[in-house]
C-alpha cells in the first residue's frame, strides 16, 4: 500500500512575506497547489532510494549501506573542503535567491509579462538582441537583494548593470554574475541558467573612491576565482559549483527545499563525441573552424568515430551536457562575456579536468580590461580542445577592441578601462603592486 504524499509548489519552501516578483508585478499572486497522489520509491544515483512521506520528508534507504544524501550546506561544512564560515553564509543567500529565480522561471505569468515588455520596447524603438528582458531584470534584483542581505559581499557586478554595485565596505567577497542566461528562450520552455563567480575583495584598493574600487575589484583575472558555479533551470534545478577542489552538482529537492549532492567530483571525459555550436553560421566561420567541424563530422579526426551536433542555444544547458558527456561547447564569435560567463565556466571546466579557451589562449590567463568585454569561447574535453586549437584559425571576426590582454604581462604598469553609460571611457593607472595582486593565482585556504 502506497503512502500518501503532499507535494508543494517550490514557492512554498521559501520564507513567508518575501515576494517572489518585483513590486510592480504584485498583481500576480501564484497560488500554492496542494494535491495528494500515491508515491513509489524513486531511483537515485549510486543505488540510493528515496521514499517521500506524507509529511514531505525525503527518507533515504540504500542498497549499499550508504549514509544517506548530503545537502549543499552539509557538503560545505566538511573540514576537507576548507570553506570558511563567511562563504557558507554567502552561499546560503545565493542558494535561496536561485530557488526564487527557479520559481520565477517556472511561473505561468512570465509569458504575459514578456509580451507586455516586448510591446513597450517596440514602441520605444528598441529591438536589440541583448536588450534586458523583464525576467533578467527581476532575477537580477532578486540576487542583488539576497547578496546585500548576506552582508558578505562588497561589490556585485552583473551583466544586466552598466557598472558594479557597491554593497558593503566590510564585505570580504566580490560576486560577478549573469543572473538569467538564455532568458529569450523561456517562452519555448528551453532551459535557462544563472552563472556566477566569487573573488576576494582586494583590501589594498579600499582607499580608492567607491566607483573605482568597485570596478577594479570586478576586473580580477579568472585565476583569482575562489569559487564559481551555475544553476540550471530545466526539468530539474541543478546547482553546479566548485570551491577549487573539484566540480560538484547538487539537485534541488522541491519537497524539502534542499540542494542534494547528486554528481560528486564530476570528471569530464578526456574526449567526447559531441560538438555544440550554431552551425547555421558555418559560411561565416574562418577556414580552420570549418575544416575542424568537417573533419570530426566525418570521423576523420583524431577520434575515429563521427561526431554529432547538439545545440540548445542556452550556454548553461550546452555546457552542462558537455561537462557530463564530453565534447565541445563553443561560440567562435566575440559574443560571450569574459567576466560574467567565460571565467566562471572555465573555472568549473578546469576543476573537472577540462579546458576553457578563447581559441588561442587559456581563458583563466586573460586579464579583463572592461566589465562587459566579449570574446570567443570554447569549453570542453581537453583532447577535443587541443585538437580544435591545432587547426589555428578558429576565431570568427574578432574585433581589435575586444581582444583580451594576457595576465602574464611583464610591464609593471597596466590600465583598467570601463565604459560609462554615456559612452565615455574612464581610465585608471594601476601601480605594480595592484597589477600583481589582480593577476596572482588564487590560493584559497578557507580562512574567511
Catalytic residues: 130, 136, 159-160, 178, 180-181, 341
Contact 99, 251 (CB under 8 A): no
Q: Is 263 exposed, middle or buried (0-12, 13-18, 19+ CB in 10 A)?
A: middle
| Element holding 437 (H helix, E strand) | helix 432-439
- Cell numbers standing for residue 205: 584598493
Beta-ladder partners of 4: 38
Helix axes 287-297, 382-389, angle to 10 degrees: 130
Contact 219, 371 (CB under 8 A): yes
Angle of CA points 84, 88, 91, to nearest 5°: 140
Instruction: Return d(Cα 174, Cα 290) in angstroms, integer.
Output: 39
DSSP for residue 288: H
Instruction: Return d(Cα 26, Cα 21) in angstroms, integer.
Output: 6
Instruction: Return d(Cα 176, Cα 158) in angstroms, integer.
Output: 6
How many CB atoms neighbour CB 182 within 10 A? 19
Amino acid at each position: 500500500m502506497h503512502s500518501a504524499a503532499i507535494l508543494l509548489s517550490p514557492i512554498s519552501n521559501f520564507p513567508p512575506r518575501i515576494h517572489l516578483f518585483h513590486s510592480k508585478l504584485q498583481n500576480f499572486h501564484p497560488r500554492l497547489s496542494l494535491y495528494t497522489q500515491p508515491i513509489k520509491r524513486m531511483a537515485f544515483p549510486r543505488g540510493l532510494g528515496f521514499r517521500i512521506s506524507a509529511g514531505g520528508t525525503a527518507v533515504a534507504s540504500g542498497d549499499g549501506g550508504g549514509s544517506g544524501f548530503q545537502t549543499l550546506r552539509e557538503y560545505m561544512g566538511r573540514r576537507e573542503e576548507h570553506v570558511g564560515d563567511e562563504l557558507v553564509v554567502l552561499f546560503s543567500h545565493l542558494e535561496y535567491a536561485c530557488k526564487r529565480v527557479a520559481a520565477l522561471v517556472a511561473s505561468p505569468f512570465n509569458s504575459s509579462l514578456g509580451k507586455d515588455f516586448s510591446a513597450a520596447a517596440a514602441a520605444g524603438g528598441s529591438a536589440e538582441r541583448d536588450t534586458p528582458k523583464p525576467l533578467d531584470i527581476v532575477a537580477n534584483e532578486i540576487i542583488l537583494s539576497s547578496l546585500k542581505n548576506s552582508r558578505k559581499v562588497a561589490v556585485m557586478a552583473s551583466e544586466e548593470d552598466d557598472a558594479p554595485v557597491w554593497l558593503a565596505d566590510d564585505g570580504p567577497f566580490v560576486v560577478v554574475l549573469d543572473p538569467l542566461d538564455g532568458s529569450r528562450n523561456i517562452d519555448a520552455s528551453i532551459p535557462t541558467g544563472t552563472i556566477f563567480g566569487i573573488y576576494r575583495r582586494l583590501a589594498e584598493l579600499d582607499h580608492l573612491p567607491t566607483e573605482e574600487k568597485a570596478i577594479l575589484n570586478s576586473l580580477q583575472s579568472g585565476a583569482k576565482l575562489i569559487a564559481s558555479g551555475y544553476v540550471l533551470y530545466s526539468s530539474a534545478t541543478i546547482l553546479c559549483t566548485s570551491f577549487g577542489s573539484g566540480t560538484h552538482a547538487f539537485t534541488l529537492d522541491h519537497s524539502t527545499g534542499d540542494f542534494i549532492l547528486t554528481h560528486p567530483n564530476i570528471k569530464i571525459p578526456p574526449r567526447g563525441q559531441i560538438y555544440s555550436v550554431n552551425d547555421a553560421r558555418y559560411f561565416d566561420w574562418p577556414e580552420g573552424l570549418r575544416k575542424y567541424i568537417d573533419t570530426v563530422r566525418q570521423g576523420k579526426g583524431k577520434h575515429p568515430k563521427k561526431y554529432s551536433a547538439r545545440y540548445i542555444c542556452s550556454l548553461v544547458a550546452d555546457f552542462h551536457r558537455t561537462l557530463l558527456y564530453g565534447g565541445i561547447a563553443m561560440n567562435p564569435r566575440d559574443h560571450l562575456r569574459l567576466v560574467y560567463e567565460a571565467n566562471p565556466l572555465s573555472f568549473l571546466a578546469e576543476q573537472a579536468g577540462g579546458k576553457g579557451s578563447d581559441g588561442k589562449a587559456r581563458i583563466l590567463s586573460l586579464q579583463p580590461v572592461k566589465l562587459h568585454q566579449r570574446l570567443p569561447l570554447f569549453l570542453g574535453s581537453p583532447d577535443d580542445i587541443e585538437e580544435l586549437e591545432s587547426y589555428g584559425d578558429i576565431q570568427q571576426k574578432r574585433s581589435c577592441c575586444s581582444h583580451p590582454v594576457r595576465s602574464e604581462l611583464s610591464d609593471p604598469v597596466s590600465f583598467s578601462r570601463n565604459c560609462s553609460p554615456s559612452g565615455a571611457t574612464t581610465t585608471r593607472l594601476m601601480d605594480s603592486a595592484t597589477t600583481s595582486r589582480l593577476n596572482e593565482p588564487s590560493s584559497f585556504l578557507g580562512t574567511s
